[in-house]
Amino acid sequence: MKRILVTGATGFIGSHTLVELIDRGYSVIGIDNLANSSLDVLNRIKDITGIRPEFREGDIRDKEFLNHIFQMFEVDSVIHFAGYKAVDESVREPMLYYSNNLIATQLLLEAMQKNGIKKLIFSSSCTVYGDSKYVPITEESETCPVNPYGRTKYYIENMLRDLSCSDSHWKILNLRYFNPVGAHPTGLIGEDPLGIPNNLFPFLTQTAIGKRDAMLVFGSDYDTPDGTCIRDYIHVVDLAKGHLAALEALDNIQGINFINLGTGNGSSVLEIVNTFKKVNDVEFIVEMAPRRKGDAAKVWADTTKAKKVLKWKSELTLEDMLRDAWNWQQKNPNGYI
């Protein structure tokens, strides 16, 4: 069976993808520098799949480490998750993001090229579209990111495009995720953000469990039916399965393909909060707060291309996302320890 190298393997999306890969019989090698994850993830993956994944701790900016990995393991394709992802941090510390996202990816690509590995699945983001004027967003919509994090993804996408133009052996699936949420239904792996969460779901579950005094809704005067922002939330298990579909499609594609991974449906912040309370039978205080800078009003994906090229579509519902997120939070009130 083909060996798949997964960077950022112990992170939120990486860990769920490892579970799906192992369950499908793939042989994997995970790498991570543990900047935003825990080694305990590997034990949890073993509890779910019965197999402890092959893993090496290291940084993808370390050329020697990468070459060593490529020499030790016969890698067929790379799924590249490693990177930083907090928009507000990227505004405060842009150089950190250019180094760990853009430069790190360049170093990974060079190591892949040197070792003759030219099949890649890359974690991009809907942030490359910026404040899109039209919904649903298709892959042809204008890309105009509005913060340093989004710009690192945008520059990486262009680097990948140039690379694939320079050498027709490259096969690249550039996946633009919408909003991955939820957790594995076992409650053994999930999202474990450091500090005050920036994203809606961890904020919601931490408020529900009593770690935060109130659920803050940023902005209630947007041009949407209830005034709060609309996003396309996708269950992380569906997203992980999207990577299996991408691996299966990779051999048959030419050059680089850009593909949205979302559900194609938008939900407002208030809809999420109210459905969370109902599905999980919990109560907490909800407070309206001023808008955050840079939040677009409406963002959801057109998923036609994913269905066509990957033969994949999301299956889990909003209720599944909210139930699984709460199950994870309750079973792991302090995340991984």
Ligand X SMILES: NC(=O)c1ccc[n+]([C@@H]2O[C@H](COP(=O)([O-])OP(=O)(O)OC[C@H]3O[C@@H](n4cnc5c(N)ncnc54)[C@H](O)[C@@H]3O)[C@@H](O)[C@H]2O)c1
What residues line the site for ligand X (CB under 6 A)?
A: 7-8, 10-14, 32-37, 59-61, 81-83, 85, 100, 104, 123, 125, 177, 179-180
Pairing verdict, β 267-268 and 230-231: antiparallel
**What is the nearest approach in angstroms of ligand X to the Cβ of residue 283?**
27
Assigned token pair, 214: 């109130």
**What is the nearest approach in angstroms of ligand X to the Cβ of residue 18?**
11
Q: Give the phi and the psi of residue 277 in degrees, each rounded to 5.
A: -60, -40
Between 34 and 72, CB nearer to ligand X: 34
From 26, 97, 129, 149, active-site residue? 149
149 classed as catalytic: yes
**What is the nearest approach in angstroms of ligand X to the Cβ of residue 182?**
11
Between 278 and 292, CB nearer to ligand X: 292
**What is the nearest approach in angstroms of ligand X to the Cβ of residue 240?**
10
Buried b / exposed e across 77-107, counting CB within 10 Å, b at 16+? bbbbbbbbbbbebbeeeeeebbebbbebbeb
**What is the nearest approach in angstroms of ligand X to the Cβ of residue 280?**
21
Residue 128, SS3? Answer: helix
| Alpha-carbon gap, residue 123 to 112, rounded angstroms | 16
CA 304 to mean position of chain CA atoms: 20
Between 117 and 175, CB nearer to ligand X: 175
Assigned token pair, 334: 């302090």
Q: Do residues 187 and 230 lie in contact, with contact meaning Cβ atoms separated by under 8 Å?
A: no
* In the chain, alpha helices (H): 12-23, 40-49, 63-72, 87-92, 94-97, 104-114, 148-166, 200-208, 236-250, 269-280, 304-305, 318-331
Assigned token pair, 257: 């393909």
Between 104 and 244, CB nearer to ligand X: 104
The single residue listed with the structure tokens 């991984």 is: 336
Between 58 and 227, CB nearer to ligand X: 58
Residues known to be catalytic: 149
